Structure 1
Amino acid sequence: MIRTLDFLFSLLGLVFGFPVLLVLCVIGLFDTGSPVFRQERVGRDKRPFTLVKFRTMSVDTASVASHLANSASITKFGHFLRRTKLDELPQLWNVLKGEMSLVGPRPCLFNQEELIAEREQRGVLKARPGITGLAQINDIDMSTPKLLAETDARMLASLNLTAYFKYIFMTVSGKGSGDRVPGKD
């Protein structure tokens, strides 16, 4: 049922959100010259997939977790995208393709070995990664791998349709600060 909702909502989001995506893409083109960001992430069962987001940092920024990034790398437009969570919109494509869900553990980088180990230990990597979830609405990010993995496992153990809609609604209504970058909280 959740996969059906993911497919339906991501398709509707991409179709009806296309004008917004286009405007953000054009503004991003002027901001960084490369508005879309692609990065290999850890997917379900540790399979790699290419995550798609709007670029919020300068093009030459090192590929590290947000909490390890330099805050000077975030552009002014990028700060707006992060604060409003609009940088996540292109991930609807990942959801449509079945690589992600709207609700699930945020996908990490393969170099985040401590987080991967914590998630493996708790069975979190058996689920599709998501755009939002319990950790995100509670401001728990990848800087605390054990707490994040525990929170992800707790969310997955109790994930039902009510919780699914609750996490989406809370994210859209502004709960949670998104990926933290030192100096930008």
Structure 2
Amino acid sequence: MLSKRLFDIAASLVGLLLIWWVFPIVAILIRIKMPGGPSFFCQKRVGKDGRLFTCHKFRSMTVNHNGSSVSVAGDSRITPFGAKLRHYKIDELPELWDVLIGNMSFVGPRPDVPGYADKLQGADRDVLKLRPGITGPATLKYRLEDEMISAYVAKCQAEGDTRPMQEIATEYNDAIIYPDKVRLNCYYYRHYSFCKDIEMIFATVLGFKVKFAGEMV
């Protein structure tokens, strides 16, 4: 995958050179609209070969929250300004730096917190042979993941489920969404195509669907 890495270096460098001016503006707005915390959110994530790395994003949540890795649309931890950053994927712009230095790629599985990818067994561990990505087939399929989880939580609560929202959301993610993401990411590893990478990048930016693993994502 030499062509993949060379593309990552060139594209991330060009991207950072073109949009560097956005970073101080967003950072200042975060400090104004979400005072009491840093502008950047830095967290250890599981990378290629299971090695931990520091993932960089713009902060979109309150400083003091329960730390659950599964978020839901309307989640009280996400501030109004943070919701806008997440909706337009602006919160992920700092990940261009992670791509440039080799911790991430433009296309690949989203970087997981410890307890997910590093716990995979058997052939599913092929996911760990990939650098985490800003986008990818699973990211495209679940681009409205927060809304999907929120709808499931609302359905369960309407049926009388009295468990906390985060517990229901985590159950749905762990039992349904995450296994499907693993399936898609393993297929991506075993059927890698540089041309498909480019197609998925354009699909992410322009918002259209692409055919992948026999379905539209």
Q: Considering the TM-score relative to the shorter chain, is it more than 0.5?
A: yes
Larger radius of gyration: 2
Q: Map 1:142-161 onto structure 2 (within 5 A).
A: 143=173, 144-161=177-194
Separation in 1, partners of 2:208, 2:128: 25
Question: Cα gap change, 1:139/1:170 in structure 2, threshold over 3 Å: closer, same or farther?
Answer: same
Q: Which moved more, 1:19-28 or 1:133-142?
A: 133-142
**What SS does structure 2 have at the residue aligned with 1:6?**
helix
| 2:99 partner letter | V
| 1:148 partner letter | K
User: Equivalent of 1:61, from 60, 65, 74?
Assistant: 65
Q: Map 1:64-79 onto structure 2 (within 5 A).
A: 64-67=68-71, 71-79=75-83
Q: Aligned residues, how many?
A: 174
**What SS does structure 2 have at the residue aligned with 1:131?**
strand
Question: Cα gap change, 1:60/1:73 in structure 2, threshold over 3 Å: closer, same or farther?
Answer: same
Shift of 1:52: 0.2
Q: Map 1:15-164 onto structure 2 (within 5 A).
A: 15-33=17-35, 34-67=38-71, 71-112=75-116, 115-118=117-120, 121-122=123-124, 123-139=126-142, 143=173, 144-164=177-197
The equivalent of 1:10 in structure 2 is: 12
More contact order relative to length (CA 8 Å, sep ≥ 6)? 1
The equivalent of 1:171 in structure 2 is: 204
Shift of 1:21: 1.7
Separation in 1, partners of 2:139, 2:27: 25
Aligned alpha-carbon RMSD (Å)? 2.1
Question: Cα gap change, 1:59/1:70 in structure 2, threshold over 3 Å: closer, same or farther?
Answer: farther
Shift of 1:64: 2.5
Separation in 1, partners of 2:121, 2:29: 37
| Contact in 2 for aligned 1:118/1:145 (Cα 8 Å) | no
What residue ranges of structure 2 are gaps of 5+ in the alignment? Answer: 146-169, 210-217
What percent of counterpart residues are identical?
34
What TM-score does the superposition give when structure 2 sets the normalisation length? 0.74
| 2:138 partner letter | A
Separation in 2, partners of 1:133, 1:101: 10
Shift of 1:93: 0.6
Separation in 1, partners of 2:15, 2:66: 30
**What SS does structure 2 have at the residue aligned with 1:145?**
helix
Separation in 1, partners of 2:63, 2:79: 10
Separation in 2, partners of 1:110, 1:175: 31
What TM-score does the superposition give when structure 1 sets the normalisation length? 0.86
What residue ranges of structure 1 are gaps of 5+ in the alignment? Answer: 177-185
| Contact in 2 for aligned 1:106/1:130 (Cα 8 Å) | yes
